[in-house]
């Protein structure tokens, strides 16, 4: 007699933490499994019910609620575990769990679960609360449903493709027939073009535009364009923004909000497989800050924006509680900040009239790197078209800049202490002056000079002419990589702030006002890490702005070893996560969030990880000085 | 809550009373006498899902080659407490059925005759309501196997997940309308039935896996269509 538990075992082997188990232990777990089916809406665990099992989702999806039973704590799907933290704590259910889809649940009894954890350290690390840090990133990716949901899973319908020569009336009736709100416009092309794909009749075509039902209304009806005109005449002609089927739903949503579009074609390679609608997505997930970004972008008044800024902190804390990854949280906070800048520019244009010449409002530093935390201040600047004439347009842009920076301050983004803001006339200049600024910084880089300006090497457009910002980025990428003196100066700059490690791997603490022995995670950790990585990025001509994105670009070169890239990534993610968690905890306790943590309050393993992260920074800084030497000054600085 | 219409067949209780009285073999007698009481609510009925793989569909000419059993209740399925047997078919294995089950001659070479494991099988069934998907097959094959080896009749009520699906999807006025309009009847095969309850797909045609799949299907059917308080005798056939 042999029992075939293959189905159960094979499934569990695909998911953390069971994927870490050797075969005999996995078999032991499979042997302990008991199964129950729950219909959507049924409660699986009720609060304070004694818990003797860990639950594994074989299929379906569940929601965990907070103690009050009404606030959503987490959503889990296939392959996720729940109940194990309660089991470790006191064996009574803390978070009630309800099936939100028809679900098949595997129960694993406490004794087996604990025994397996005892025998397999890697498994224990994953499930043990105190040992969770090492795998904190993988776990975050698993537990956030928006991150684990792929864009392709949200596709409801095949995309409607139409050739650009089709008449509007024909396209409209096709859209109505197929109940879709947009049509993807294609143009026949050469099959060798990079964006070419084969349509349903196997003809090579490429995506050239998109026409929505809204375009039909506003353009065709309001502008009285003939229904016999072709799609080509009304389609949105700017570059088409798309997303890949394998991107996360979250990524897709951020993209739509960032680009301010309602429809996003999803591609599998080059071929469109569907279209996401922002409205659908926001219905899918209203409890996160994408909703906030969307509301900011539609806010009719500055008072409304100031009111909304109250929600930023609340959403931040809830994202941390839902264990979204630190990169996602920073990205969301950055886009939130950019949404404020963007909307304020629009409101300023409403108040002072349309701009007399084109301009771009750019954000700098952490907001450009998409690494904003809840304590970040504002750094911004204005690039104005070269047709700018101070005597004619000066007042307009001064008013606009002050309007934006003052209201940003009201919305919780403190004035930049270094005056790096568009309200400062020095940073409100025509494009040609900006080109001159950057060329100058790169050609004659005194370290003192760069101390002030290094923040300008992280830049992104929040409103207006994106091409202005793009031009400066390309100028930097070209000129910086070929200028060793500049790189050396940037490297020296990056090595100014050292990690807080003593000779015997002890922490060097600072005494702050309240006499706490603390370490500033930003000043001694994430900021110098970003600085170090920026130097390598400039050296390899990368136009990426985020620290992790830059690491990806650097990984494609020989500048830094693969091992070092891995360590840098880990250190940066670890310190960012720690910083974000620290700030969220402060807010939850009604304290002012800051960047200072007290290692004395950490567990052994936390201290170990912290030390490891700082050692990575120290090693990276040493290498930087060696890789980009400051010629002539070597003795002085070696 | 839907109630399944009672069939106007001779009552099981009269038949069983008579059979227990005549029965010679103690194992069969104890199985029949320990069947759950028809008044037991589904929520409290001990059950066992059973599936056979056979060399063909005719119980008079074909043999059982594997048996899967999974004990369960409305609350919990216990996969590890289940059983799986490979059996040597007395009439040999036909090539056509090999492709179907992926059970090969060499795997059956060392397999015992059903007579050697019959006691274990009957033990596993005793005290539980047997749940199958398509009772005609399991019932007739089990009946013939016991008749050939012990010289006893073995007929008892079973819960049939396929007949529940048939009732829901084939006999309702909606299903008739659908058939009348020329659209294909809803499939009531195990895999397709499970899909309607969003149960995951399994590798089919393995007696143990299909028994597990049947147990899960019954849990889902009851959650969807019946009260846990419904007496099990109302659903058995």
- Least Cα distance to A569 among A321, A326, A365, A332 occurs for A326
Residue B35 maps to a domain: yes
Q: How far apart are CA A275 and CA A159, in angstroms?
A: 6
Q: What integer is the mean pLDDT of A110-130?
A: 76
Residue B7 maps to a domain: no
Residue B148 maps to a domain: yes
Q: Which residues span the domain enclosing B160?
A: 12-234
Q: Which of A30, A34, A42 sits opposite B78 (nearest CB)?
A: A34
pLDDT score for A134: 31
Given an 8 Å threshold on Cβ–Cβ distance, is A59 in contact with B80? no
pLDDT tens sequence across B86-137: 898 876 655 555 555 666 666 777 788 888 999 999 999 999 999 999 998 9
pLDDT tens sequence across A432-475: 999 999 999 999 888 777 877 788 999 999 998 888 998 999 89
Given an 8 Å threshold on Cβ–Cβ distance, is A3 in contact with B80? yes
In angstroms, the separation between the Cα of residue B80 and the nearest Cα of chain A is: 5
CA distances from A294 to A118, A132, A250, A311, A445 (A): 47, 34, 14, 13, 41
Given an 8 Å threshold on Cβ–Cβ distance, is A34 in contact with B224? no
pLDDT score for B15: 87
The three-point CA angle A314-A276-A373 to 5° equals 25
Q: How far apart are CA B163 and CA B133, in angstroms?
A: 8
pLDDT score for A417: 86
Given an 8 Å threshold on Cβ–Cβ distance, is B220 in contact with A39? yes
Given an 8 Å threshold on Cβ–Cβ distance, is B199 in contact with A33? no
CATH of the domain at B196: 3.30.420.10
Given an 8 Å threshold on Cβ–Cβ distance, is B82 in contact with A3? yes
In angstroms, the separation between the Cα of residue A146 and the nearest Cα of chain B is: 21
Residues of chain B in contact with residue A35, where contact means CB-CB under 8 angstroms, are 72, 76-77, 79, 212, 215-216
Given an 8 Å threshold on Cβ–Cβ distance, is B223 in contact with A58? no
Which residues face A1 on adjacent strands? none
pLDDT tens sequence across A187-196: 888 888 777 8
Given an 8 Å threshold on Cβ–Cβ distance, is A33 in contact with B80? yes
Task: Check: CB of residue A400 under 8 Å from CB of residue A388.
Answer: no
Q: Which of A32, A33, A39 sits opposite B223 (nearest CB)?
A: A39
Residue B3 maps to a domain: no
Given an 8 Å threshold on Cβ–Cβ distance, is B82 in contact with A8? no
Q: Which residue do the tokens 């798309």 mark?
A: A242
Task: Check: CB of residue A250 under 8 Å from CB of residue A328.
Answer: yes
Q: Chain A residue closest to B73 (CA)?
A: A36
Q: How far apart are CA A545 and CA A453, in angstroms?
A: 16
Given an 8 Å threshold on Cβ–Cβ distance, is A8 in contact with B79? yes
Q: Is A101 on the interface with B (CB under 8 A)?
A: yes
pLDDT tens sequence across A543-597: 888 999 999 999 988 888 888 998 999 999 999 989 998 998 888 888 888 888 8
Given an 8 Å threshold on Cβ–Cβ distance, is B76 in contact with A36? yes
Given an 8 Å threshold on Cβ–Cβ distance, is B84 in contact with A3? yes
Residues of chain A in contact with residue B197, where contact means CB-CB under 8 angstroms, are 37, 102
Q: How far apart are CA B138 and CA A479, in angstroms?
A: 80
Q: How far apart are CA B124 and CA B133, in angstroms?
A: 18
Report residue B37 as tokens.
């009481």
Q: Which of A30, A31, A58 sits opposite B200 (nearest CB)?
A: A58
User: Which one is predicted more confidently, A367 or A273?
Assistant: A367
Report residue A577 as tokens.
């996560």
Q: Is A42 on the interface with B (CB under 8 A)?
A: yes
Q: Is A4 on the interface with B (CB under 8 A)?
A: yes
pLDDT score for B3: 52
- Least Cα distance to A142 among A155, A128, A126 occurs for A126
pLDDT score for A132: 36
Q: How far apart are CA A524 and CA A134, in angstroms?
A: 21
Given an 8 Å threshold on Cβ–Cβ distance, is A37 in contact with B219? yes
Given an 8 Å threshold on Cβ–Cβ distance, is B77 in contact with A58? no
- pLDDT 10s per residue in chain B (237 long)? 555 555 545 688 888 888 888 888 888 999 999 999 999 999 999 999 999 998 888 888 888 989 999 999 999 999 999 999 989 887 665 555 555 566 666 677 778 888 899 999 999 999 999 999 999 899 999 999 999 888 888 999 999 999 999 888 776 666 666 666 666 677 888 988 999 899 998 877 889 999 999 999 999 999 999 999 999 999 988
Given an 8 Å threshold on Cβ–Cβ distance, is B77 in contact with A104? no
Given an 8 Å threshold on Cβ–Cβ distance, is A36 in contact with B77? yes
Q: Residues of A numbered 498-517 whose beta carbons fall under 8 angstroms of chain B's beta carbons: which are they?
A: none
Residues of chain A in contact with residue B84, where contact means CB-CB under 8 angstroms, are 1-4
Q: Which of A7, A38, A39 sits opposite B202 (nearest CB)?
A: A7
- Starting at the edge strand found earlier in the chain, the sheet holding A61-65 runs A43-45, A97-99, A61-65, A72-77
pLDDT band at A143 (very low <50, low <70, confident <90, very high): very low
Report residue A412 as tokens.
């919780």
Q: What integer is the mean pLDDT of A256-263?
A: 78
**Secondary structure tally for chain B: helices H, strands E:** 10, 5
In angstroms, the separation between the Cα of residue A49 and the nearest Cα of chain B is: 16
Residue B1 maps to a domain: no
Q: How many CB pairs under 8 A join A and B?
A: 71
Q: How far apart are CA A79 and CA A63, in angstroms?
A: 14
Residues of chain B in contact with residue A49, where contact means CB-CB under 8 angstroms, are none
Q: Chain A residue closest to B208 (CA)?
A: A4
Residue B6 maps to a domain: no
Residues of chain A in contact with residue B77, where contact means CB-CB under 8 angstroms, are 34-36
Which residues face A361 on adjacent strands? A382, A463
Domains of chain A in sequence order: 6-129 (2.60.120.10), 152-278 (3.10.580.10), 289-480 (3.30.460.10), 491-637 (1.20.120)
Strands (E) located in A428-528: 428-430, 459-464, 510-511, 517-520
The total of structural domains in chain B comes to 1
Q: Evaluate if residue A148 carries a pLDDT over 80.
A: no
């Amino acid at each position: 007699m042999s029992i075939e538990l293959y189905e159960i075992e094979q499934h569990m082997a695909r998911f953390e933490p069971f994927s870490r188990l050797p075969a005999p232990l996995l078999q032991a777990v499979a042997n302990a499994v008991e199964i129950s089916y729950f219909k959507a809406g049924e409660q699986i665990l009720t609060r304070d019910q004694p818990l003797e099992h860990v639950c594994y989702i074989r299929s379906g999806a569940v929601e965990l609620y907070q103690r009050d039973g009404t606030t959503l704590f987490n959503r889990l799907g296939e392959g996720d575990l729940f109940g194990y933290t309660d089991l470790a704590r006191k064996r009574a259910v803390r978070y009630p769990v309800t099936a939100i889809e028809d679900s098949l649940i595997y129960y694993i009894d406490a004794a087996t679960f604990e025994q397996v954890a005892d025998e397999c350290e890697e498994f224990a690390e994953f499930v043990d609360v105190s040992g969770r840090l090492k795998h904190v990133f993988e776990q975050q990716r698993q537990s956030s449903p928006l991150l684990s949901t792929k864009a392709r899973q949200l596709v409801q319908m095949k995309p409607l493709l139409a050739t650009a020569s089709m008449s509007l009336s024909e396209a409209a009736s096709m859209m109505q027939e197929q109940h879709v709100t947009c049509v993807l416009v294609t143009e026949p092309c050469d099959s060798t073009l990079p964006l070419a794909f084969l349509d349903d009749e196997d003809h090579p075509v490429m995506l050239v535009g998109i026409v929505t039902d809204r375009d039909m209304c506003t353009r065709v009806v309001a502008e009285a364009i003939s229904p016999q005109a072709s799609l080509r005449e009304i389609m949105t002609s700017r570059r088409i923004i798309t997303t890949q089927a394998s991107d996360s739903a979250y990524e897709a949503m951020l993209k739509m909000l960032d680009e301010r579009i309602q429809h996003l074609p999803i591609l599998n390679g080059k071929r469109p497989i569907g279209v996401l609608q922002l409205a659908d997505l926001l219905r899918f997930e209203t409890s996160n800050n994408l909703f906030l970004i969307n509301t900011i972008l539609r806010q009719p008044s500055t008072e409304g924006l100031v009111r909304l800024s109250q929600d930023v902190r609340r959403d931040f804390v809830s994202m941390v509680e839902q264990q979204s990854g630190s990169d996602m949280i920073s990205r969301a906070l950055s886009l939130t900040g950019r949404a404020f800048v963007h909307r304020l520019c629009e409101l300023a244009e409403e108040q002072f009239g349309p701009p007399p010449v084109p301009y771009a409002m750019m954000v700098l530093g952490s907001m450009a790197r998409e690494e904003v935390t809840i304590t970040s201040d504002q750094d911004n600047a204005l690039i104005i078209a070269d047709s700018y004439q101070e005597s004619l347009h000066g007042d307009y842009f001064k008013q606009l800049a002050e309007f934006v920076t003052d209201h940003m301050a009201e919305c919780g983004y403190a004035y930049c202490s270094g005056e790096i803001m568009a309200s400062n006339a020095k940073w409100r200049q025509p494009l040609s002056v900006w080109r001159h600024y950057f060329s100058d910084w790169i050609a004659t880089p005194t370290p003192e000079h760069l101390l002030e300006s290094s923040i300008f090497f992280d830049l992104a457009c929040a409103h207006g002419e994106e091409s202005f910002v793009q031009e400066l980025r390309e100028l930097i990428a070209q000129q910086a990589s070929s200028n060793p003196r500049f790189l050396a100066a940037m490297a020296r700059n990056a090595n100014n702030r050292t990690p807080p490690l003593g000779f015997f791997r002890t922490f060097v603490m600072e005494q702050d006002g309240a006499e706490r022995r603390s370490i500033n995670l930003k000043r001694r950790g994430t900021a110098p890490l970003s600085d170090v990585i920026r130097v390598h990025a400039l050296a390899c001509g990368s136009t990426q702005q985020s620290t992790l994105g830059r690491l990806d670009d650097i990984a494609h070169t020989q500048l830094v070893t693969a091992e070092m890239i891995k360590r840098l990534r880990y250190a940066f993610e670890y310190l960012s996560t720690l910083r974000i968690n620290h700030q969220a905890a402060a807010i939850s306790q009604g304290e002012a969030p800051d960047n200072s943590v007290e290692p004395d309050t950490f567990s052994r393993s936390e201290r170990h990880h912290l030390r490891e992260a700082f050692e990575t920074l120290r090693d990276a800084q040493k290498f930087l000085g060696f890789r980009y030497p400051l010629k002539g000054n070597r003795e002085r600085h070696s | 809550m839907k109630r399944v219409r009672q069939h106007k067949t001779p009552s099981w209780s009269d038949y069983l009373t008579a059979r227990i009285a005549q029965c010679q073999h103690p194992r069969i007698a104890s199985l029949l006498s320990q069947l759950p009481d028809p008044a037991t609510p589904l929520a409290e009925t001990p059950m066992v899902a059973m599936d056979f793989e056979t060399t063909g569909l005719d119980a008079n000419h074909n043999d059982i080659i594997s048996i899967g059993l999974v004990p369960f209740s409305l609350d919990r399925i216990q996969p590890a407490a289940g059983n799986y047997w490979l059996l040597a078919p007395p009439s040999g294995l036909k090539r056509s059925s090999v492709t179907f089950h992926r059970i090969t001659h060499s795997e059956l070479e060392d397999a015992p005759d059903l007579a050697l494991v019959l006691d274990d099988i009957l033990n596993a069934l005793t005290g539980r309501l047997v749940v199958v998907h398509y009772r005609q097959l399991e019932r007739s094959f089990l009946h013939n196997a016991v008749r050939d080896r012990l010289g006893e009749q073995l007929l008892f009520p079973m819960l049939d997940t396929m007949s529940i699906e048939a009732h829901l999807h084939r006999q309702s006025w909606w299903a008739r309308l659908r058939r009348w309009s020329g659209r294909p009847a809803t499939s009531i095969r195990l895999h397709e039935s499970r899909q309607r309850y969003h149960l995951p797909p399994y590798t089919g045609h393995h007696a143990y896996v299909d028994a597990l799949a049947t147990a899960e299907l019954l849990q889902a059917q009851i959650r969807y269509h019946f009260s846990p308080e419904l007496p099990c005798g109302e659903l058995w056939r």
